[in-house]
Amino acid sequence: MRAAGLQRAFQQRHSLVARRDQAGWLFVAPALLLLGAFFIYPILKTLQFSVSEGSIIGELEYVGADNIARLLRDSDFYHSLWITFLYAAGSGLVTISLAFLIAFVLQQVGSFQSWLRSIFFYPVVLSTVIASVVFVSVFNPFSGIMRLLPGGLGATNWLQSSTLVIPALIVFTTWKGLGFYLLIFIAGIANINQDHLDAAKVDGAGGYALARHIVIPMLRRLFIFAWVITIVYGFQNFALVFSLTRGGPNEASRILPIMIYEEAFKFFNMGYASAIAVVMAVVMAAVSLVAFVLWRGDREPV
């Protein structure tokens, strides 16, 4: 009797587990099917394209490492890689420093927080293209805001100058994205044990010492996290650069995504475009990996 009861209970439990396993698969199946068709398949195709030559409809011809070899000899590619790096690192640096500074000051001051947060965050929700229309006119040296700057900076159109176009993009990127990082830093600072801060204040630490010796070291991981996002985001920010400058003037702001877009959809070099895309993905993966190692290494002492 007892054994039979146990066995029944076991069977029941077993079938429940089986039912659960099956249900788990059914819940993830729609997502996996869609990702398979519209994400995994294209990734594999990109790899195939990168060693082939051909237009978007015609036959593909296997060319092996030709595309990569061409890439390594292409000065346009190095130019774009450098510009992309400059833009991503520059906007990361400016955005993160300012976001931290503002978060730190907001935390010390304490009043008007939610108002100020909204002022810094509203650009994040606007469409980049729409915001770029406003910024193109802001940079207009005859009627825009920038003409109020002193000397040559006000008299030049930043968007037409090959030296000032990257700074212009950094200004726009910072304005557009800062609010997001500000929220992260506000939360990070609020999360620091108040006792540490109070102890430091009792010891006579001013705002600068507090930030330099307590807050920044304690937020190290958060800084790494923010760096990765800004770099990864900057590397692929087609919409922002395309709508503000279209890669100009004279390719001075032609970041890799714009180069890929033009190779693929303007010159129809599918193979070459895919090869650039693969190299770009590898570079980005390497950057993320380095950051991940730093981030992991940081975990031990805590």
Partner 1 sequence: MAVLFLLPLFWWLSTAVRSTASIPVGLSLFDTWWPGEFRFFENLETAFDLYPMATFFVNTIIVATVVTIGEVVIASMAGYGFAKFRFLGKNVAFAAILVFLLVPQIVVVVPLFQLVASLGFVNTYPALIVPFLVTPLGIFMMRQFMLEIPNEFQESARIDGASEWRIYRSVIMPLARNGLITLAVFTFIFQWDALLWPLIVSSREEMYTLNVGVSLLQANVQTPYNSIFAVTLLFSIPVLVLYFAVQRQISDAVSAGGIKT
Instruction: Give the residue, chosen from 92, 177, 188, 247, that forms a contact with partner 1 under the rule CB under 8 A.
Output: 188
290: tokens are 């380095």
293 belongs to the binding site for partner 1 (CB under 8 A): no
SS3 53: strand
Sequence-ordered list of residues with C-beta below 8 angstroms from that of 207, at least 6 positions apart, any chain = 104, 108
State the virtual CA torsion across 37, 43, 45, 47 in degrees, nearest 10. -160
Q: How far is the CB of 204 from partner 1 (least distance, A)?
A: 28
Rank residues 90 and 235 by Cβ distance to partner 1 and give the closer one.
235
Q: Considering the rule CB under 8 A, would residue 145 count as an interface residue with partner 1?
A: yes
Rg (CA), the chain: 26
- The residue (of 143 and 194) whose beta carbon lies closer to partner 1 is 143
Q: Which of residues 71-130 bind partner 1 (CB under 8 A)?
A: 98, 102, 116-130
What's the min distance (Å) between Cβ of 3 and partner 1? 24
Residues 30-49 close enough to bind partner 1 by CB under 8 A: 30-32, 34-35, 37-43, 45-46, 49
Q: Which long-range contacts (CB under 8 A, 24 or more apart) does 134-137 make?
A: 135/172, 135/175, 135/244, 136/244
Which burial class, exposed, middle or buried, applies to 215 when counting CB atoms under 10 A from its CB (0-12, 13-18, 19+)? buried
Q: Is 260 in the site for partner 1 (CB under 8 A)?
A: yes
Kindly tell me which of 38 and 202 has the beta carbon lying closer to partner 1. Answer: 38
56 scored as a contact of partner 1 (CB under 8 A): yes
What residue spans of 75-112 are helical by DSSP H?
Answer: 75-109
Among 77, 135, 158, 227, binds partner 1 (CB under 8 A): 135
CB of residue 162 vs partner 1: minimum separation in angstroms? 20
Total chain residues near partner 1 (CB under 8 A): 97
302 binds partner 1 (CB under 8 A): no
Alpha carbons 83 and 143: distance in angstroms, whole number: 29
β-sheet bridge partners, residue 197: none
